[in-house]
Structure 1
Amino acid sequence: MSFDLVLKNGEIVFPREGVQRGSIAVSNGRIAAILAPGEAVAGKRVIDCTDQWILPGAIDPHTHIGFGAKAEDWTTESRTAALAGVTGLMTFWRSENLADMTDSWRAEGEARSAIDFGFHFGVTARRHVEEFPALARRFGVTSLKVYLMYKGETGRAKGFEEVDDGLLFAALQAGAKVPGGVVGVHCENTEVIPVFREPVKAAGRMDLGAWDDQSPGFLETENVFRVAYFGEKAGCPVNIVHMSAVESLDLVRGMRRPDRPAINVETCIHYLTLSRDSDIGDLGKVNPPLRSRKDVDGLWEGVRDGAIQTIGSDHVARKRGTKGPDIWRASAGFPGIGQIWPALVSEGYFARDIPIETLAAATSRNVAELYKLPRKGRIAPGHDADFAIIDPDRETTVHHADFPSHSDYSPYEGMRFKGAVTHTVLRGLVLSENGTLAEDAIQSGGQYLFRAN
């Protein structure tokens, strides 16, 4: 029997399970068989994966497509992902009228994206909450995000008048009515931030650490408690997105119980690789802020023991010109989807001896299970043939110019990572090989991830 693609004699990484040498056969975009080492099969294309890992393609659970060059982001950012072992992304979609505008944004993604994609709905008004069950059925979107940082004056400055604790609780009630529903929350107590910000600004502080000092970690932790407690009362699983402070993780550990809805935790690669002391200046401004090395180390322990379920990039493809002229006026957020695998392999596997199957789970299987993504996140017969092939011994140095992103900088610029993506495969199509995009495969396009509900 001949297969469409054979990944031959690699180290197959099964998320949460282990590593096994063997080959993978692909037919019609799905995994057809997992073969023993040395078992000979024919394929229209065979990739020798000797001494390389074969992992499920990463599914980035936290991106902001459209915040750079609007619809063109679908092209540039998905191509960046395709070079980097990322085969799927979840992006936050906000609109005053989700019912009327979601179809057009989905169509832009289907026309332009090189990888598979799905949505989280951003909740900024009561109508979004009231419409969510119907929207979930129509669009296959089972996750919401509430932005607690947009409460009060901060929200009004962006045109959001209805973000408060009542909206949060109503969103949790709505999420509980949707099968597989989960409510993600950006946790920062924006009402207390001015108490810290004003003296820090008055002192003339312009350093990156000033951004942490004006919104210290416990303001995230306080919101985490509220979200988790409300989630229990509303009967809805919650997801603490982009967790930055180890105190927040410690709180979640204490609040978890088997008889209450899940408290899921997501962190991002910048909270695992960068800190308030990183020499990157205004480029490192992000919400929540970069924290201390103690927080970095504590979050890694959460990845190791499974207290943190998922890891994303919080990718935003704005230009460097938006990151100034000082820390107070710079835009928040930065690109990162191209560095997910190198950062986790180098800093997690090599520097901290975290099993590669644990890291793979946080970027694939756990994401697929949390967001109910069909046939994604695992290496098993019948699942989509989505893979990142990685040479663990090859070193890479980050240069933003190596990627087609709309963004013209990287906070990781010049950093050396051990572990390089050699191939990205989406549903059996080789999207990239050794840093070069395969245009024929790219043109086949990504698919919208409609989640069962």
Structure 2
Amino acid sequence: MITLDLVLTNAQLMLPQGGLTRGTLGVKDGRIAVIAGPDAQLAGTETLDCGGLWVLPGVIDPHVHFGFGSPETDFETESRNAALGGTTTVLSFHRSRDIRESFEAARDRAESQSCIDFGFHFGITSNLHVETLDDISHRFGVSSYKLYMMYKGAAGLSKGFTDIDDGLLYSALQETAKIPGAVLGVHCENVEVIPVLRDPLRAAGRDDLKAWNEQSPDFLEAENVHRVCYFASKTRTPVNIVHLSSREALDEVRRHRLRRDGPPIYVESCPHYLFLNDETPAGPYAKVNPPVRGQDDVEAMWEGVLDGAITTLGSDHVPRKRETKDKDIWAASNGFPGTGMILPIMLHEGYHRRGVPLDKIVALTSSNAARIYNLPAKGSIEIGKDADLVIVDPDLERTVDPATLESFADYSPYEGMTLKGWPVRTLVRGRTVALDSRIVDAARTEPGGRFLRRL
């Protein structure tokens, strides 16, 4: 009998197709080596009694913006924030004028700082990115990208982007289709119409979160979703509608999916679109693009969770300071932190309050992302896969306090909310990085996160 590095006993293991199953799990060299019954006697260097708690696959957050807070240290602070909430893998966005010149330094810095595993998407903002897509994808092992429809025209010029238009979208779809396993994510908002709706709101003195929703309403998202799905059908490209927020946009995806001979259309939504609406007292702290919507759209997102129309959940994590939010709704920064909140929100609002089956939550937060983004060692509790595990106390209640969350951001749109269901231990490849709401000392001094090549 082999001596395992770690044995988890007295556990309720969340197994594929098996649901919660009482059992024992053994880890060797960072991978799951044994899954046995509850009475199995396994020899391990370390044995951990789980006390009957749940053991779930680590959360995969496919949508974070590390580097938008403190570019030099974000992978240190934000990976800790992620680990506290049970997130063991993130995919962050890398954007630069020429990715061939910038990527390696960003990857190496992240590898020196992150206590969880990570990969990247490339931001496509110019024709140069499309022309070099095959090269940078294979050279750096990246197979997913994002194009920002909201940075067309004047909105793009304000960010220094001059090439973003429907032509760039179409050519990016063409090039993505040539790369095996690649997927193009698209931010869908018709930014050209927004000023027509926004200017009267500002002139009327509106300064509330609902006004932010009204200046970029659901139909502007849905119009862009149609454009992306239609072009993707012509180029036969797998696409991902990222951070989808509204009923009308989701119905547009459903309509295009009826073309059964077409390429996959994936949908990512976010916990905030399932949990916050445009009347939340968080105000500017909940300002984000696309906006948080009305309660009917919140209900529509849960319908999409239950019927499978929504494929994955991503946090759209942006770790800026509170001072960037303490302004009127028009001047406050966009986005907010959230990668460590995916699982607590889904357990509280999904499992406990709405009765969403746990296996569906695990698919949305882990296994689907592993499949779509080519992470074969991640996403489920199976022999041979990485021992990325989260031990969860489903009955633990905790109030969200930004001071304890380790992020560069010093606020949360969820602060002060009491949620039921929290991780009590997070393991990355069998190594504990977070325990009882704190990052362990070893993960601070030797972070140990690895870059994940996916192509």
TM-score, structure 2 length as denominator? 0.98
Name the CA shift for 1:106/1:287 in 2 (closer, same or farther; >3 Å).
Answer: same
Shift of 1:444: 4.4
Could you tell me the percent identity over the aligned residues? 52
Distance 1:80 1:44 in 2: 29
- After superposition, give the CA deviation of every residue in 1:342-385 in whole Å (9 maximum; x if it has no partner): 10001111111111111111111100110101311111110000
Distance 1:15 1:40 in 2: 23
- Comparing 326-335 with 41-50, which one deviates more in the overlay? 41-50
Q: Which residue of 2 aligns with 1:6?
A: 7
Question: Which amino acid is 1:313 matched to?
Answer: S
Distance 2:414 2:16 in 1: 27
Q: Which residue of 2 aligns with 1:270?
A: 272
Q: Which residue of 2 aligns with 1:84?
A: 85
Distance 2:35 2:427 in 1: 16
Shift of 1:19: 2.2
- After superposition, give the CA deviation of every residue in 1:146-191 in whole Å (9 maximum; x if it has no partner): 0000000000011100100000011100100111010000000000
User: Unaligned regions of 5+ residues in structure 2, if any?
Assistant: none
Question: Which amino acid is 1:362 matched to?
Answer: L
Q: Which residue of 1 aligns with 2:186?
A: 185
Q: Which residue of 1 aligns with 2:25?
A: 24
Shift of 1:231: 0.6
**1:360 lines up with 2:362 in the alignment:** yes
Note the 1:227-246 alignment, pairs <5 A.
227-246=228-247
Partner of 1:71, secondary structure, is coil
Q: Which residue of 2 aligns with 1:37?
A: 38
Q: Which residue of 2 aligns with 1:438?
A: 440
Question: Which amino acid is 2:227 matched to?
Answer: R
Question: Which amino acid is 1:108 matched to?
Answer: R
Q: Which residue of 2 aligns with 1:298?
A: 300
Partner of 1:335, secondary structure, is coil
Say if 1:15 and 1:365, in contact at 8 Å, map to a contact too: no
Say if 1:209 and 1:277, in contact at 8 Å, map to a contact too: yes
Shift of 1:437: 1.5
**1:171 lines up with 2:172 in the alignment:** yes
- After superposition, give the CA deviation of every residue in 1:127-163 in whole Å (9 maximum; x if it has no partner): 1011111111101100110000000000001110010
Distance 2:154 2:62 in 1: 29
Q: Which residue of 1 aligns with 2:56?
A: 55
Question: Which amino acid is 1:348 matched to?
Answer: G
**Deviating 4+ runs (over 6 angstroms):** none
Shift of 1:41: 1.4
Counterpart selection for 2:451 from 434, 440, 448: 448
Say if 1:51 and 1:391, in contact at 8 Å, map to a contact too: no
Q: Which residue of 2 aligns with 1:425?
A: 427
Note the 1:25-424 alignment, pairs <5 A.
25-256=26-257, 257-424=259-426
- Comparing 337-346 with 434-443, which one deviates more in the overlay? 434-443
Say if 2:116 and 2:447, in contact at 8 Å, map to a contact too: no
- Comparing 10-19 with 326-335, which one deviates more in the overlay? 10-19
Partner of 1:282, secondary structure, is helix
- After superposition, give the CA deviation of every residue in 1:34-57 in whole Å (9 maximum; x if it has no partner): 111221212222222233111110
- After superposition, give the CA deviation of every residue in 1:316-358 in whole Å (9 maximum; x if it has no partner): 0000100132000010000011211110001111111111111
Distance 1:51 1:73 in 2: 35
Question: Which amino acid is 2:33 matched to?
Answer: A
The alignment yields a C-alpha RMSD, in angstroms, of 1.1
Distance 1:318 1:40 in 2: 48
Question: Which amino acid is 1:236 matched to?
Answer: T
Shift of 1:209: 0.4
Distance 1:227 1:188 in 2: 11
Distance 1:415 1:372 in 2: 35
Say if 1:15 and 1:360, in contact at 8 Å, map to a contact too: no
Shift of 1:436: 2.2
- After superposition, give the CA deviation of every residue in 1:253-297 in whole Å (9 maximum; x if it has no partner): 121133110010000111111110111111111000000111111
Partner of 1:82, secondary structure, is helix
Distance 1:157 1:444 in 2: 37
Distance 1:353 1:177 in 2: 41
Name the CA shift for 1:415/1:391 in 2 (closer, same or farther; >3 Å).
Answer: same
TM-score, structure 1 length as denominator? 0.98
Say if 2:57 and 2:366, in contact at 8 Å, map to a contact too: yes
Shift of 1:15: 4.9
Distance 2:423 2:176 in 1: 37
Shift of 1:204: 0.5
Partner of 1:264, secondary structure, is strand
- Comparing 441-450 with 136-145, which one deviates more in the overlay? 441-450
- Comparing 5-14 with 206-215, which one deviates more in the overlay? 5-14
Distance 2:260 2:425 in 1: 40
Shift of 1:397: 0.8
Task: Report the number of matched residues.
Answer: 452
Say if 1:11 and 1:50, in contact at 8 Å, map to a contact too: no
Distance 2:282 2:83 in 1: 26
Say if 1:152 and 1:191, in contact at 8 Å, map to a contact too: yes
Distance 1:428 1:172 in 2: 38
Partner of 2:27, secondary structure, is strand
- After superposition, give the CA deviation of every residue in 1:237-267 in whole Å (9 maximum; x if it has no partner): 0000000001111111121133110010000
Shift of 1:18: 2.2
Shift of 1:17: 5.1
Shift of 1:441: 3.9
Shift of 1:79: 1.1
Distance 1:387 1:361 in 2: 14
Partner of 1:70, secondary structure, is coil
